[in-house]
Structure 1
Amino acid sequence: MTLKKIIKISVSIVFYNSTEIDIKRVFQNIRQLNNISNFSFDFFLIDNASTKKIKLDNLQTSNVHVKYLQRNDGFGAGHNSVLKDLDSDYHIIMNPDVSLNDTDGLIKAINYMNSHSDVVLLSPLVRNENDNQIQYLNRMEPTVFDLLIRFLGPNFFSKRQSKFVKKLGGYDHIQLEENATGSFMLTKTIELKKINGFDTRFFMYFEDTDLTKRMAEEGKVIFFPYFTIVHGWKRDNHTLKGLRPMILSMIKYFNKWGWKLY
């Protein structure tokens, strides 16, 4: 009799000045995932040199590993700090403000990737925390024009903005994903390691768009609507505080991949 192979899944979560609510949410997520019997999980909790002291040590167990970084080199660098420690079939990149209540959907997503060897990255359906509305994060590859009108607000070229986030037909079936959200990414670990994880030149913003394109060079990146996460979305990029680092990252992105104006 052949024993069924246990699928090994690693999860990395980067914290920066996170709230107690986020930490409790992460603890709940860990507990829920550990209850899935046919998968083996390892969790990597990374404090990205928070200026406000946060305590993660009480979450540490045999499969929960806590790491405190001495310097904040950005979101991608935080996740990359554990890349060499991963010994898994699949790796999840996740934000601390994500709730994983749909464990049945996660099982479907992992089984889908397991039976489709050409899929290297899977992006879930994302809903709001407060009203359960869809967050339109199944986006097209960005152009300068698309990003500019999003800066200006939702009423500028609204049809074009709807097209950019695929409001029509972008959330009801499995399809190729051009611009996956970094709030939750289910990746094939071997392929993530092959490209050395995130490009750390992006401190914040566009690191997920860049990773999507680089993973797409290794295989298929898909949007999978049969698995849902809940995300407490913070739109700092629509404030003056968030505007400058986003513009700097946008310039780096287009310098790297080519300037697509429209």
Structure 2
Amino acid sequence: MVLSENKLKKISISISIVFYNSSEKDVKKVLSTLKKLNSLSKFTFSFFLIDNASTPKLHLDLENLQMQNVYIKRLEVNNGFGAGHNAVLGDLNSDFHIIMNPDIDIEDLDGFVKAVYYMQEHKNIVMLSPLVRNETDGDIQYLNRKLPTVFDLFIRFLGPNIFPKRHASFTKKQDGYDHIQPAENATGSFMIIRTYNLKKVQGFDTSYFMYFEDTDLTRRISDEGKVIFFPYLTVIHGWRRDNHTLKGLKPMIISMVKYFNKWGWKWI
């Protein structure tokens, strides 16, 4: 891929990361990632670290970070993932904004640069979703999904060995994960979004406490332009599958009902 880097101005990028009772490991990983990104002098960064009413309050050791572009926002009430990210929406004044989970690691800095430049050169793209790999074994997390049906969500809870062909169809495995393609249901673990368009759609729908807010945002922002899967940027994701436990099932069902009530029930 040839990109006209010399023709591009210095691009401003903001990143928001929401923490809730995050582990010390995740906090250290985030601070390490911020240092790596800040080394990309071709961009200007602003990092927003949001403590979503952790108990006790999250300790963010920034004294040794030596970065002036890190801003901490502490929320008194946890109103969910989307509300946490929306808390800094009014503070954003960037070209691109990145939604990022604290368990994301970015080692592929070349891919990061390619992704940002690709969006800069293709003005019709409003959101970009990367290739996501497991932290433990490096395997692909098949997150370039179709829009969900009730049946798809039910069998995903049961596991990949139940209706495996339907699982493969839902995650678009037959399309391959080696080329740029449309994304209709981008993962909220990492999204690059045009800040103007994110603000225009008013960020996440905060009626979702957890789950489906990323699917909902993808659908709403796709009215603004193209949403793409971009495999030339790889991020590493810790990926805790709480929705595959009884504890995670209840909030998932609540959000599922809200999602289908809003967008229409599609059973199969």
TM-score range, shorter chain: over 0.9
**Preserved contact between residue 13 and residue 95 of structure 2 (Cα < 8 Å):** yes
Q: Identify the residue that residue 224 of structure 1 maps to in structure 2.
A: 230
Which moves more between the two structures, 55-64 or 228-237? 55-64
Amino acid at match of 2:155: I
| 2:37 counterpart (33, 38, 46) | 33
Asked if 1 retains the 8 angstrom alpha-carbon contact of 2:129 and 2:228, the reply is: yes
Give 2:99's match in structure 1, choosing from 90, 93, 103.
93
CA contact (8 A) 2:51 2:57 kept: no
Residue 22 of structure 1 is matched in structure 2 by 26
**Distance apart, 1:154 and its partner CA:** 1.5
Range moving further from structure 2, 57-66 or 46-55: 57-66
TM-score w.r.t. length of structure 2: 0.95
Deviation at 1:160? 0.6
2:199 to 167, 184, 193: 193
| 2:212 equivalent to 1:206 | yes
Task: Please tell me the root mean square deviation across aligned C-alpha atoms, in Å.
Answer: 1.4
Is the CA contact (8 Å cut-off) linking 2:188 and 2:214 kept in structure 1? yes
Deviation per CA, 1:67-97: give whole Å up to 9, x if none. Answer: 1100000000000000000010000000010
Q: Alpha-carbon deviation of 1:60?
A: 7.7
| Equivalent of 1:46 in 29, 33, 50 | 50
Aligned residue for 1:127, secondary structure, equals strand
Amino acid at match of 1:182: G
Q: How do residues 50-199 of structure 1 correspond to structure 2 at under 5 angstroms? A: 50-56=54-60, 58=62, 61-199=67-205
Amino-acid identity (%): 66
CA distance in 2, matches of 1:115, 1:190: 16
Partner SS, residue 137 of structure 2: coil
- Cα distance in 2 for partners of 1:60, 1:81 equals 25
Whole-angstrom CA distance in 2 between matches of 1:62 and 1:28: 15
Alignment check: 8 A CA contact 2:11 2:95 kept: yes
Query: What's the TM-score once normalised by structure 1's chain length?
Result: 0.97
Note the C-alpha offset of 1:37: 1.2
Distance between the aligned counterparts of 1:108 and 1:119, measured in 2? 14
1-structure distance, mates of 2:40, 2:92? 20
**CA distance in 2: counterparts of 1:78 and 1:4, whole angstroms:** 32
Unmatched segments (≥5 aa) in structure 1: none
Structure 1 residues 60 and 189: CA distance shift in structure 2, 3 A: farther
Q: CA deviation at 1:169?
A: 2.2
Q: How many angstroms apart in 2 are the aligned matches of 1:254 and 1:60?
A: 46
4+ long deviations beyond 3 Å? none
Instruction: Give ranges in structure 2 of 5+ residues lacking alignment.
Output: 1-5
Contact 1:60/1:66 (<8 A) preserved:
no
- Alpha-carbon distance change, 4 to 108 in structure 1, aligned in 2, over 3 angstroms: closer
Shift of 1:57: 5.2
Do the aligned partners of residues 34 and 260 (structure 1) sit closer, same or farther apart at CA in structure 2, a change above 3 Å counting?
same
Quick check: 2:48–2:72 contact (8 Å CA) kept in 1? yes
